[in-house]
C-alpha cells in the first residue's frame, strides 16, 4: 500500500472513531453522555448571553453580583428541568437553591431568571438533542416549575445510588471579569464519578494561542477516556496527559488567593524546583487544561481550616484528569471521597498531577505543609 492510500484509510478510521463515540449507544452511560453534552452546551449559550446582555453592556457598580446570580439560577434551572424530563428518578446535588427568589424582594431577579431559562429551553434542537429532554420550541415553563427545578438541587448526597452534581457557574469571579468560568455537571453512582463534563465558553482551544478559537467542552466517562469538544461544533479529540518531569511542571492554581494558598504553592515550587510562573485561572477550567496537557499540576491548598470543598467543585474535573491518565488525591494522598455528603468532608486540599510526578509533588506538599501522609 502506498503512503497516500494509507493516509486516506487512517483519515477514514479517524472520522469513524470520532463519530462512533457519539452515536454508539452500547457503551455504558452513552445516553447520559449525550444528554450532558447537550445540557452543558445549552447552559454555556445561556451564560454567554447573560454576560453579553448584563455584564458587558452595563456599567456594574463594584461588587454588584446580580448578573452572576441571574446566570447561576437560570443555568441550574435549565439543567435541572432537562434532568427531570430525562432521568426523573435521579436526585441532584446543586450549588444553588431558590429560597431568596421566592421572597418578594427576589421578584425582579426572578423575572429575569425565568425569561432567560425559558429562552434557553425553547432554542431549536441541534443534532443529537432529543425532544423528550424537554427542549425546543414551545417548551416554556412556569415560574413555579422553574423555581421547583432549581430546588431539586437540594439533595444531601451520600454513599449509595445515582446522583448528579451541578455547578451552574463555577468561577463566578472569573465570569464577572470576562475571564475563565465553567458550567459543571457530573453523574455519581455509589459515590464514584462515572461521568464528568465541564463547559468553558471563554477557554482558548489552545492555551499557547490565546487569540485563537475559544470555547470548549471537556467530557469523560469512566473507562472511556477524556475528550475535548469545541463549542463551535467541530469534532472531538481524545486527550491524554503527556509525561512531565518535576522541573518541567507549571502550577495551575486559583486566581483567588482566598480559595487556594498562593504562598504555600510558592514554597512547594521551590522544593520541587519549578521555575515557571504559575498559570492562574478561575474555575474547574483548570482541570480541563490539566487533562489536555497544560501545566502538569493543579494544586488547591486550603486557606481556612473550617472550609470544606464542595463536591460540585471537583467531581467532574477529577474524572477528566483521571481519564486523561493523571492522578487526583488530597494532600495526604487519599482519594477524593464524594460519598460523604455535599462536601468533600474528610479530604484536605487537592493535588492533581501527571502520574509520573504525582508522588514527588505530594511529598513536597507534605514537606511544605506538615500534613502527614496516609497511614
Ligand atoms: N474559602 C474558600 N476556599 C476554597 N474554595 C472556596 C472558598 N470560597 C469559595 N470557594 C469555592 O471556589 C470556587 C471557585 O473555584 P476557584 O478557586 O478554582 O476559582 S476562582 O479563582 O476562585 O474563581 C467557588 O465556586 P463558585 O461559587 O461556583 O464560583 C467556591 O465554591
Ligand atoms: Mg464552584
Ligand atoms: Mg458556582
Ligand atoms: Mg458560588
Under 8 Å between Cβ of 70 and 101: no
Residue 313 annotated as part of some ligand binding site: yes
Task: Give, in order, the Cα–Cα distances in Å from 325 to each of 29, 206, 241.
Answer: 20, 19, 6
% of the chain residues with pLDDT over 70: 90
For residue 247, which phi and psi values (nearest 5 degrees)? -75, -10
DSSP character string of 252-310: EE-S-TTTS-HHHHHHHHHHHT--SPPEE--STHHHHHHHTTSSEEEEE--SSTT---B
pLDDT tens digit sequence for 154-177: 999 999 999 999 999 999 999 989
Which pLDDT score, from 0 to 100, does residue 106 have? 76
pLDDT tens digit sequence for 57-71: 654 555 566 777 899
Ligand 1 in contact with 304 (CB < 6 A)? yes
For residue 163, which phi and psi values (nearest 5 degrees)? -160, 150
Under 8 Å between Cβ of 215 and 203: yes
SS3 192: strand
Q: Is 143 a catalytic residue?
A: no
Using 50, 70 and 90 to split pLDDT, how confident is the model at 25?
A: low
Partners of 228 in beta bridges: 218, 237
For residue 39, which phi and psi values (nearest 5 degrees)? -65, -45
Which pLDDT score, from 0 to 100, does residue 290 have? 98
The ipTM (two decimal places) reads 0.94
> Which position has the grid cell 452513552?
30
pLDDT tens digit sequence for 283-335: 999 999 999 999 999 999 999 888 999 999 999 999 999 999 999 999 999 99
Q: Which amino acid residue places its CA nearest to atom 3 of ligand 1?
A: 259
What does pLDDT average to over the chain? 90
Which pLDDT score, from 0 to 100, does residue 280 have? 96
State the average pLDDT over residues 215-235.
Answer: 96
Ligand 1 in contact with 165 (CB < 6 A)? no
pLDDT tens digit sequence for 236-270: 999 999 999 999 999 999 999 999 999 999 999 99
Q: Which amino acid residue places its CA nearest to atom 26 of ligand 1?
A: 170
Residue 108 CA, ligand 3 centroid: distance in Å = 21
Which residues make up the environment of ion ligand 3, defined by Cβ < 5 Å? 95, 167, 169-170
State the average pLDDT over residues 113-134.
Answer: 95
Q: Which three cell numbers stand for residue 89?
A: 428518578
State the average pLDDT over residues 208-225.
Answer: 97
Using 50, 70 and 90 to split pLDDT, how confident is the model at 5?
A: very low
For helices 107-122 and 143-151, the axis angle rounded to 10 degrees is 90
Ligand 1 in contact with 307 (CB < 6 A)? yes
Q: In which order are the strands placed within the sheet that holds 279-280?
A: 279-280, 250-253, 296-300, 350-354, 326-329
Q: Catalytic one among 47, 172, 264, 329?
A: 172
Residue 332 makes CB contacts below 8 A (sequence gap 6+) with 348, 366, 371, 372, 373, 374
Which pLDDT score, from 0 to 100, does residue 13 have? 33
Which pLDDT score, from 0 to 100, does residue 10 have? 35
Which pLDDT score, from 0 to 100, does residue 57 have? 64
Task: Give, in order, the Cα–Cα distances in Å from 35 to each of 87, 187, 234.
Answer: 10, 11, 18
Please give the Cα distance from 374 to 368 (Å, whole number): 16
Parallel/antiparallel/unpaired status of strands 214-221 and 192-204: antiparallel
Structural domains in the chain, CATH included, are 3-239 (3.30.540.10), 246-369 (3.40.190.80)
For residue 12, which phi and psi values (nearest 5 degrees)? -65, -45
Using 50, 70 and 90 to split pLDDT, how confident is the model at 12?
A: very low
Amino acid at each position: 500500500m502506498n503512503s497516500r492510500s494509507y493516509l486516506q484509510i487512517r483519515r477514514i478510521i479517524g472520522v469513524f472513531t470520532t463519530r462512533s463515540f457519539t452515536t454508539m449507544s452500547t457503551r455504558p452511560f452513552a445516553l447520559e453522555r449525550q444528554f450532558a453534552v447537550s445540557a452543558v452546551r445549552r447552559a454555556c449559550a445561556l451564560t454567554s448571553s447573560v454576560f453579553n446582555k448584563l455584564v458587558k453592556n452595563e456599567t456594574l457598580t463594584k461588587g454588584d453580583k446580580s448578573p452572576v446570580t441571574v446566570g447561576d439560577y437560570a443555568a441550574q434551572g435549565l439543567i435541572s428541568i432537562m434532568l427531570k424530563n430525562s432521568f426523573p428518578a435521579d436526585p441532584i446535588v446543586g450549588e444553588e437553591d431558590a429560597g431568596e427568589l421566592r421572597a418578594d424582594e427576589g421578584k425582579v431577579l426572578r423575572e429575569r431568571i425565568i425569561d432567560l431559562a425559558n429562552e434557553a429551553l425553547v432554542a431549536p434542537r441541534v443534532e443529537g438533542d432529543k425532544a423528550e429532554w424537554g427542549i425546543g420550541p414551545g417548551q416554556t415553563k412556569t415560574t413555579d416549575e422553574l423555581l421547583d427545578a432549581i430546588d431539586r438541587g437540594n439533595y444531601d448526597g451520600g454513599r449509595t445510588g445515582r446522583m448528579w452534581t451541578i455547578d451552574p457557574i463555577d468561577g463566578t469571579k472569573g465570569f464577572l471579569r470576562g475571564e475563565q468560568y465553567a458550567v459543571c455537571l457530573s453523574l455519581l453512582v455509589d459515590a464514584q464519578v462515572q461521568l464528568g463534563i465541564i463547559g468553558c465558553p471563554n477557554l482558548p482551544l489552545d492555551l499557547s494561542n490565546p487569540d485563537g478559537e475559544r470555547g470548549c467542552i471537556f467530557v469523560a466517562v469512566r473507562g472511556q477516556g477524556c475528550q475535548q469538544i469545541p463549542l463551535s461544533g467541530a469534532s472531538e479529540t481524545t486527550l491524554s496527559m503527556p509525561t512531565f518531569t518535576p522541573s518541567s511542571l507549571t502550577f495551575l492554581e486559583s486566581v483567588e488567593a482566598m480559595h487556594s494558598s498562593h504562598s504555600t504553592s510558592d514554597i512547594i515550587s521551590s522544593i520541587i524546583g519549578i521555575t515557571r510562573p504559575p498559570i492562574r485561572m478561575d474555575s474547574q477550567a483548570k482541570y480541563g487544561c490539566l487533562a489536555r496537557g497544560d501545566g502538569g499540576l493543579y494544586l488547591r491548598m486550603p486557606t481556612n481550616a473550617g472550609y470544606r470543598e464542595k463536591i460540585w467543585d471537583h467531581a467532574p474535573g477529577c474524572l477528566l484528569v483521571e481519564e486523561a491518565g493523571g492522578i487526583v488525591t488530597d494532600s495526604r494522598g487519599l482519594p477524593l471521597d464524594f460519598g460523604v455528603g455535599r462536601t468533600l468532608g474528610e479530604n484536605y486540599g487537592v493535588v492533581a498531577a501527571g502520574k509520573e510526578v504525582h508522588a514527588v509533588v505530594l511529598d513536597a506538599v507534605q514537606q511544605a505543609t506538615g500534613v502527614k501522609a496516609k497511614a
